């Protein structure tokens, strides 16, 4: 699990992404932090297990899912499980899956997604 400092960084980025999306005209912006409606949990139909994305939004009828990671969480098993679920959901629902990381961790995230053969947009902040 993320430590206190990286959790604080994570929450700051989640808030930044949600506020950025609102300013950019996205609709139905939800974020898994105080002050926003919580995104709906996405579940595997085979196991009924799942995760809540950090941020979800819509634009021009298209759904977007955002998962924020800090440098110390990119290689966690939990991260891999979330990424696989969200990427699968995005593919099945013509949505866009975006991984958001601090700019300094962008290349690490790209490398990990490539290793896992997961398709996602990468946002460095």
Q: Structure pTM?
A: 0.91
pLDDT at residue 80 tops 70: yes
Measured from the Cβ of residue 125, the count of other Cβ atoms closer than 10 Å reads 14
Provide the CA 33 distance to its chain's centre, in angstroms: 13
Task: Tell me the percentage of the chain whose pLDDT exceeds 70.
Answer: 96
Number of domains into which the chain is organized = 1
CA–CA gap between residue 99 and residue 107 (Å, rounded): 12
CA–CA gap between residue 125 and residue 123 (Å, rounded): 6
CATH number, position 99: 3.40.1350
| Residue 82, SS3 per DSSP | helix
- Look up tokens 């912006």; give the residue: 29
Domain span holding position 120: 4-124
pLDDT of residue 46: 86
Task: Tell me the percentage of the chain whose pLDDT exceeds 90.
Answer: 87
């Amino acid at each position: 699990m993320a430590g206190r400092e990286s959790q604080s960084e994570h929450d700051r980025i989640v808030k930044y992404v949600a506020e950025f999306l609102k300013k950019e005209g996205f609709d139905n912006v939800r974020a898994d932090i105080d002050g926003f409606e919580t995104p709906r949990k996405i579940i595997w139909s085979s196991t009924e297990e799942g995760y809540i994305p950090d941020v979800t939004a819509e634009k021009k009828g298209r759904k977007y899912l955002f998962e924020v990671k800090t440098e110390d969480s990119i290689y966690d098993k939990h991260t891999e499980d979330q990424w696989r679920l969200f990427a699968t959901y995005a593919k099945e629902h013509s949505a866009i899956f975006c991984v958001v990381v601090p700019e300094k961790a962008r290349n690490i995230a790209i490398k990990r997604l490539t290793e896992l053969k997961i398709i996602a947009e990468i946002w460095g902040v």
